[in-house]
Structure 1
Amino acid sequence: MRPLDGIKVVDFSRVLAGPMATQVMAEYGAEVTKIERPGDGDESRVFEPVFDGGHSAYYAAFNRSKRSIAVDLKSEEGRQLAFDLAASADVLVENFLPGGMASMGLGYEVLREANPGLVYVSNTGFGQTGPYAKRKGYDTIFQALSGVIDLTGHPDGPPAKVGLPFADLTSGLWILIGALTGLLGRVRSGQGCHVDMAMMDAQVSLLSLPAARYFALGETPTRTGTEHLGRVPSSAFACKGGEWLFISASDQHWPLLCGALGLDGMADDPSLARNIDRVDRRAEVTQVLADAIAMRDRAELAPALRKVGVPAGEVNTVPEILNDPHTQARGMVATYEDPDRGATPGLRTPLRYSGYDDHRFEAPPKLGADTRRILAEELALDEATIAALYERGIVQ
């Protein structure tokens, strides 16, 4: 048994944010049916990077453990099939522009009549209301508009995007939160709901600390590189071999850090004992630390700092952290059996629940892999009707 066993999800979403959320639900037990268009399916099926053999690693990263049904939503028959699936679902996730689902007869108000308990999550760029509601957007557009790009990078350099699809990934988490809180609310109220999840709203909500500085101090936060506006030291420092080490020290760590670096004079200086004073003398303190750290090998310094209780972390490359012994021990890198290419690596969903079976970790579905079974077993269509749908290209 898994936490979401028995929950049925219909997934009309494509590319990243919505599929990420529904994959988490699938791996924790929900039955997720991904509704895709015949022919190409989710456009991310052909996105780079690809595994040997041509399967998209991008698609595989967000669509494991699901079922796929390929349905032509431009046809009346296809829209009816999708409607029938949604009419018996617990959760629906979609990422069409506002009004897109309603134009196909699949909007919340219509489906609510057939399925009052449905938790219907609409993931759009800018929400169902507001002057930007009809705008299209992508991850980096949301990063730019929300101020995230302006906050990212070094003070003397241009703005930079986050090294991950930050807006998509964080929006995926909010889609998941919306779906699960909607389900929890249904337990008490007996009713489903419509969740208006705007990716732009999600990004603005993440500005909590920069916004706090603006609200409290009236200042416009600026790029700080790896430094922390309110703490010194809290930054990445270059070590002797060119590797980088991130050190973050509060007042209780300060004398320990100075001792480990042989900076006894700074450790004994009462004018540097408090973080607020070190922040005022940021440039001076940071330079002295940088000079001392530059003389040390990271492989020696990092464990030495941790041994005395100073928080320090190597700035790892992606291969380094994926092959890190702790990552391996936690089982974060696992393999699923792809029917075409065999054992295929991927990143596991991170939560571990006591009292439940381990979460699923299954290959992403081939396009339309489950169409026939779903039509026969769940929609109770006879073989002649199913054959006619295939022949006319309504399903694949």
Structure 2
Amino acid sequence: MTGMPLEGIRIFDLTRILAGPTCTQYLGDFGADVIKVERPDQGDDTRKWGPPYVKGHDGEDTTESAYYLCANRNKRSVTINLASEEGQQLARRMIKECDILVENFKVGGLKAYGLSYDDLKAENPSLIYCSITGFGQTGPYAPRAGYDFLAQGLGGIMSITGTPGVEPVKVGVGIADVMCGMYASTAILAALRHRDRTGEGQHIDCCLLDTQVAWLINEGVNYLVSGEVPKPRGNEHPNIVPYKVFECADGHVILAVGNDGQYQKWCTFAGAEELASDPRFETNSKRVRNREELYALMPAYMTQKTVAEWVDGLASRGVPCSPVNNIAQVFDDPQVKARGMRIDVPHDAAGEGTVPLIANPVKMSGTPVQYRHAPPTLGQHTDEVLRDLLGIDAEEVEALANSGATTVKG
């Protein structure tokens, strides 16, 4: 493949679960050669996080989980036993040939293997070394194990998610993990730019908690400015009204009125002229202050039309409105289909078949994303990578396998 933005960049990927693999998958989508390093016989923990699993040619479950598939395409899998001296030596040889190392071990975890940033930086001064943890490399929580759920709780998002009066609710996917992976990938790209100019590598410290605090976004700054602690509002918005889910004649729709002009257009389409002229609701600031009064009056109008009537009628008038799709409806949506957000890639575990994946959402006119590798099976590319990266022959590959440093797939 040619012409990809990160072509020629090689990543030594010591990550597992979701945050780290999301980061490295994203970079792999843009052309980086991502070498996913896994424990022999075990691999990434998420390989076992199922069902569902990929179905083999016989229709039976394989050992490749859907969870693992979601964050590991465009990578090559190598098994290395980092607990052995031979495995550590092999890892250091490989790292010398790489531009970037990404890891999500506990703080200090790689020090035991001689693979911390401090261990490597003198010999590899241009190496970009990114550590992804639950709580960062410093501070009182640094030694703790961190998971997305904990970050969502500690970082405040659960306190403003869900319906008022019920227990705190997390976001339906591991969003702190995903966003940490995205922040880490951006930081790596910035560090690459710095290295290109100066030749200097550096250590990047990303964590789930910092990421979660950062994407409190407007609600976080609302608190910092006002001193008022935000509360859960269900589907409502703290600063925009009307903005919520409404029941209509045959289901539910989302209405997201972002300005006064859109509000007036909604009133006209709904036949709610009295709400358009009511002084309590004439500006967004007034609607926010009087949200309960407005929301008490709107259902009488919303239930008069169907989902399709609201969505089509308001879209043609420039007023944001949407159905509430389940996941099946998402992938059947004509816009999602038109944007190519489902891809199918050949996969060894599926025999002659393919596995379905969610596409990278970025569309680039000159260097489009290419799907070069399906999420690899455990150790699928060990022999290939050792030959490509280190130029070693079959005899040395076999010797490494016999030493316990790695396992080689025949």
TM-score range, shorter chain: over 0.9
Alignment pair present for 1:215 and 2:224: yes
1:356 to 357, 367, 371: 367
1:340 — aligned with what?
Answer: 349
Q: Do residues 379 (structure 1) and 381 (structure 2) align?
A: no
CA distance in 1, matches of 2:247, 2:25: 39
Deviation at 1:153, TM superposition (A): 0.8
Shift of 1:361: 4.9
Task: Give 2:49's aligned amino acid.
Answer: F
Say which of 147, 158, 163 aligns to 2:167. 158
| Residue of structure 1 aligned with 2:310, choices 301, 304, 307 | 301
| Counterpart position of 1:91 | 100
Distance in 1, matches of 2:281 and 2:157, equals 32
DSSP 3-state at the match of 1:243: strand
Cα displacement (A) at 1:377: 3.3
What CA distance in whole angstroms lies between the structure 2 residues aligned with 1:240 and 1:138? Answer: 41
Who is 1:143 aligned against? 152
3-state DSSP of counterpart to 1:252: helix
> Equivalent residue for 2:14?
12
Q: Percent identity?
A: 38
Question: Is residue 310–residue 321 contact of structure 2 (8 Å, CA) maintained in 1?
Answer: no
Read off the aligned partner of 2:48 and give its amino acid letter: V
Query: Which of residues 28, 50, 58 is equivalent to 2:53?
Result: 50
User: 1-side partners of 2:336 and 2:368: how far apart?
Assistant: 21
TM-score computed with the length of structure 2 as normaliser: 0.93
Q: Residue 161 of structure 2 contacts residue 168 of structure 2 at CA under 8 Å; is this kept in 1?
A: yes
Query: Following the alignment from structure 1 to structure 2, what is the Cα–Cα distance between the partners of residues 36 and 225?
Result: 41
What is the aligned partner in structure 2 of residue 331 from structure 1? Answer: 340
Quote the Cα distance in structure 2 between the aligned partners of 1:27 and 1:166: 20
Q: What pairs with 1:18-57 in structure 2 (closer than 5 Å)?
A: 18-48=20-50, 49-53=52-56, 54=62, 55-57=64-66
Corresponding residue to 1:179 among 188, 192, 197: 188
Aligned to 1:251: 260
Deviations 1:159-179 (A, max 9, x none): 101011111111110111121
Is the contact made by 1:28 and 1:360 (CA closer than 8 Å) also made in structure 2? no
SS at match of 2:5: coil
Runs of 4 or more, structure 1, over 4 Å off, are none
Q: 1: CA distance between counterparts of 2:348 and 2:140?
A: 47
Letter in 2 for 1:310: V
Instruction: Letter of the 2:39 partner, please give it.
Output: R
**Cα distance between partner residues in 2 of 1:254 and 1:33:** 52
* CA–CA distance in structure 1, aligned partners of residues 300 and 355 of structure 2: 45
User: Where in structure 2 are there 5+ consecutive unaligned residues?
Assistant: 57-61
Residues 163-203 of structure 1 show CA distances to partners (whole Å, capped at 9, x for unaligned) of: 11111111110111121111011122210000011211111
> Corresponding residue for 2:381?
370
Partner secondary structure for residue 117 of structure 1: coil
Query: Which deviates the most, 350-359 or 275-284?
Result: 350-359
Q: Secondary structure at the match of 1:97?
A: coil
Aligned equivalents of 1:27, 1:91: Cα separation in 2: 15
Deviation of residue 126 (structure 1)?
Answer: 0.7
Tell me how many residue pairs correspond in the alignment: 396
Q: What letter matches 1:158 in structure 2?
A: E
Superposed displacement of residue 358, structure 1: 4.0
- Following TM superposition, by how much is the alpha carbon of 1:378 offset from its aligned partner in structure 2, in angstroms? 2.0
Equivalence for 1:395: 406
Alignment of 1:260-299 (within 5 A): 260-299=269-308
Q: Give 1:312's aligned residue.
A: 321
TM-score (norm 1): 0.96
Name 2:59's counterpart in structure 1: none
Unaligned runs of 5+ in 1: none
Q: Which one is further off, 335-344 or 176-185?
A: 335-344
Answer yes or no: is the 8 Å Cα contact 1:98–1:134 preserved in 2. Answer: yes
Output the aligned Cα RMSD. 1.4
Conserved 8 A contact 1:246-1:314: no
1:245, distance to aligned residue in structure 2 (A):
2.8
